[in-house]
């Protein structure tokens, strides 16, 4: 049976009909990890894997792995995604490849990570209702590499709560707004992505691949003296947030190779899948403090301690 162009397009559109679905019903003091990995051969159906933790206590790390083949068409592919949702930090990596000698292979990655926390503004010296100025910021780092004739990628995060704005990879943003002593509010952030190698669904022989990673770090600066922020999760959003100790993002940590790769990148070496060298995310790099914080966290200590 020959696949017509119309059949391929119809199947392709049906595959992604729910790929962009998103839930914005937040639970307080919780995180969410939702991912979809697709390495799907035509007329098979085993290579489409979705997971959604719902809003649960965090942090949470999950893996979504999909594999499929159709020997009669010479189709084979695999897609792996790892996602981590934590208060103040959202991160994922995706790696997949596929090939077809005929037609009807799909290679796709998507997901949404989020956290929702309840914050209260407190002070020992200022009365309830005193105006407070807060600055919210996010830094989104990472890389995307899609081998395909028509690569499609979209990775972004949100920033609020002054006003919801999207920040695309790579990027950073900050916003400042007013609140008051005694106020309690929900602080939530999301990171979304979709990565697509659409040409692999065409007439082969074709080979495509996807490799991407991204990390979003969120912080809050209190610009009014004598004020502190207390969170339901226990996260101190005013303190530095270090990267994962899995520096090379291979899913194995702690390990000697993370240390080797860290110093290699610090010396100017290349590592496409590694985190950036600004380990403590203070915007200053390279610096001795990044190495100090790396080994502190490696030993089980707190970032910035």
**CA-closest candidate to residue 110, choices 14, 19, 210:** 19
Residue 20 lies in a domain: no
The CATH number of residue 300's host domain is 1.10.1330
Taking phi over 0 as left and psi of -120 to 50 as alpha, with beta for the rest, 45 belongs to left
**Domain's final residue, options 219, 239, 259:** 239
Residue located via tokens 């002070």: 123
Shared domain for 156 and 268, answered yes or no, is no
DSSP per residue over 175-196, as a string?
Answer: EEEEEETT-EEEEEEEEEEEEE
Shared domain for 279 and 141, answered yes or no, is no
Average of per-residue pLDDT across 4-23: 40
Shared domain for 136 and 228, answered yes or no, is yes
Shared domain for 291 and 203, answered yes or no, is no
Segment 193-229, tens digit of pLDDT: 999 999 888 887 999 999 999 999 999 999 999 999 9
Pure H helices in the chain: 5-15, 256-266, 288-298
| pLDDT reading at 10 higher than 60 | no
Please give the C-alpha separations between residue 34 and each of 31, 51, 90, 191, in angstroms, as whole numbers.
10, 6, 12, 10
Shared domain for 73 and 171, answered yes or no, is yes
Shared domain for 248 and 153, answered yes or no, is no
Calculate the average pLDDT of the chain.
86
Segment 17-30, tens digit of pLDDT: 333 344 445 567 99
Shared domain for 74 and 214, answered yes or no, is yes
Residue 256 lies in a domain: yes
b/e code 77-87 from CB counts within 10 Å (16+ = b): bbbbbbbbbbb
Segment 67-110, tens digit of pLDDT: 998 888 888 999 999 999 999 999 999 999 999 988 778 999 99
Shared domain for 245 and 234, answered yes or no, is no
pTM for this one? 0.79
| pLDDT reading at 251 higher than 80 | no
Residue 53 lies in a domain: yes
Residue 108 lies in a domain: yes
CB 240 within 8 A of CB 248: no
**Number of domains comprising the chain:** 2
**CA-closest candidate to residue 12, choices 147, 103, 131, 84:** 103
Shared domain for 106 and 117, answered yes or no, is yes
Shared domain for 285 and 244, answered yes or no, is yes
Segment 131-147, tens digit of pLDDT: 999 999 999 988 899 99
Residue 151 lies in a domain: yes
pLDDT at position 25, please?
A: 52
- Can you give the residue range of the structural domain that contains 289? 240-305
Shared domain for 64 and 189, answered yes or no, is yes
């Amino acid at each position: 049976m020959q696949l017509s162009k119309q059949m391929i397009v119809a199947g392709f559109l049906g595959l992604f009909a729910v790929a962009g679905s998103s839930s914005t019903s937040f639970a307080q003091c919780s995180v969410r990890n939702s991912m979809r990995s697709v390495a799907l051969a035509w007329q098979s159906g085993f290579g489409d894997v979705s997971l959604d933790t719902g809003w649960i206590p965090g942090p949470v790390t999950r893996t979504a792995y999909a594999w499929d083949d159709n020997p009669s068409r010479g189709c084979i592919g695999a897609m792996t995604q790892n996602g981590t949702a934590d208060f103040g930090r959202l991160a994922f990596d995706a790696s997949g490849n596929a090939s077809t000698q005929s037609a009807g292979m799909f290679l796709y990655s998507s997901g949404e990570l989020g956290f929702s926390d309840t914050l209260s503004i407190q002070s020992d010296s200022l009365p309830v209702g005193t105006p407070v100025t807060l600055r919210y910021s996010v830094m989104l780092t990472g890389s995307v590499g899609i081998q395909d004739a028509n690569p499609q990628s979209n990775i972004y995060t949100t920033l609020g709560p002054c006003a919801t704005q999207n920040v695309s990879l790579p990027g950073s943003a900050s916003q400042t707004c007013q609140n008051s002593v005694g106020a309690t509010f929900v602080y939530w952030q999301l990171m979304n992505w979709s990565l697509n190698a659409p040409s692999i669904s065409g007439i082969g022989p074709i080979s495509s691949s996807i490799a991407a990673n991204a990390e979003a770090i969120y912080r809050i600066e209190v610009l009014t003296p004598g004020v502190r922020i207390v969170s339901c999760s226990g996260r101190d959003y005013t303190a530095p947030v270090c990267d994962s100790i899995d520096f090379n993002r291979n899913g194995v940590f702690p390990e000697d190779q993370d240390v080797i790769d860290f110093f290699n990148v610090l010396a100017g070496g290349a590592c496409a899948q590694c985190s950036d060298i600004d380990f403590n995310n203070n915007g200053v790099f390279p610096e001795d403090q990044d190495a100090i914080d790396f080994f502190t966290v490696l030993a089980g200590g707190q970032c910035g301690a």
